[in-house]
């Protein structure tokens, strides 16, 4: 396995270039299905991990901690937000070590799915979020706009 250069302080965008050149894509079979209580008009959404991002996550030393994205999200939520002024958090914070696929999916959930979904995923009458494999999704996309997490879903221990 190729060694990741010391990337703390290197612009994240440059690190992604390095990863694109040096790492093979990792196509994950995992999908995260979730329903957003604040968007019940729409069907269940499916998070698809990016293969180049997954390669970075498994390699280690490339991606910033997920908490950095939360800090930037706080800035963007301000009413007078125009542009990010703390982008350095992405580049200067110590990158995270190599993750397993499970850890990478957990990171991705915390980065790209709304916090009000993943922080209360198992509260209520049924789970709001389910991690599954591609073969567990419906076989065809007919009636895609009616997809929901089933009420009687059985969760793995």
Partner 1 sequence: MAYGNLKFDTLTTSDSKNTNTEKSLDTSYIFNGVAKAWIKYDQDTPEVDDSFNQSSTEDTSEGQFKPSFSNSMANAEYVVSIMAEAEAGLTDRCDYQQKSSSTTSLVHCITAEAGSLRDAGNSNTVIHGDVA
Query: Contact residues for partner 1 (CB under 8 A)?
Result: 11-13, 16, 20, 25, 27, 42-43, 45-53, 56, 63, 69, 72-73, 76, 82-84, 87, 90, 108, 111-112, 134, 141, 144-145
CB of 66 to partner 1, least distance (A): 10
Supply φ then ψ for residue 129, to 5 degrees.
Answer: -145, 135
CB of 52 to partner 1, least distance (A): 5
75-88 burial, b if ≥16 CB within 10 A, otherwise e? Answer: eeeeeeeeeeeeee
Distance (Å, whole) CA 129 – CA 121:
5
Which residues lie across from 32 on neighbouring strands?
Answer: 47, 131
C-beta of 11 vs 126, nearer to partner 1: 11
Question: In which residue are the tokens 């799915």 written?
Answer: 113
What's the N-to-C CA distance of the chain in angstroms? 33
C-beta of 108 vs 130, nearer to partner 1: 108
C-beta of 112 vs 127, nearer to partner 1: 112
C-beta of 143 vs 152, nearer to partner 1: 143
């Amino acid at each position: 396995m190729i060694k990741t250069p010391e990337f703390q302080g290197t612009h994240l965008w440059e690190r992604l270039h390095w990863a694109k050149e040096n790492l093979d894509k990792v196509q994950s079979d995992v999908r995260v299905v979730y329903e957003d209580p604040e968007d019940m008009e729409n069907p269940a959404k499916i998070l698809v991990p990016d293969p180049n991002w997954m390669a970075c996550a498994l390699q280690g030393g490339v991606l910033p901690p997920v908490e950095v994205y939360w800090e930037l999200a706080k800035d963007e939520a301000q009413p007078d937000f125009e542009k990010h002024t703390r982008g350095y958090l992405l580049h200067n914070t110590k990158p995270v070590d190599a993750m397993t696929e499970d850890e990478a999916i957990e990171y991705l959930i915390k980065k790209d799915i709304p916090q009000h979904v993943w922080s209360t995923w198992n509260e209520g009458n049924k789970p709001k979020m389910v991690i599954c494999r591609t073969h567990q999704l419906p076989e065809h996309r007919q009636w895609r706009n009616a997809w929901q997490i089933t009420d009687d879903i059985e969760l793995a221990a």
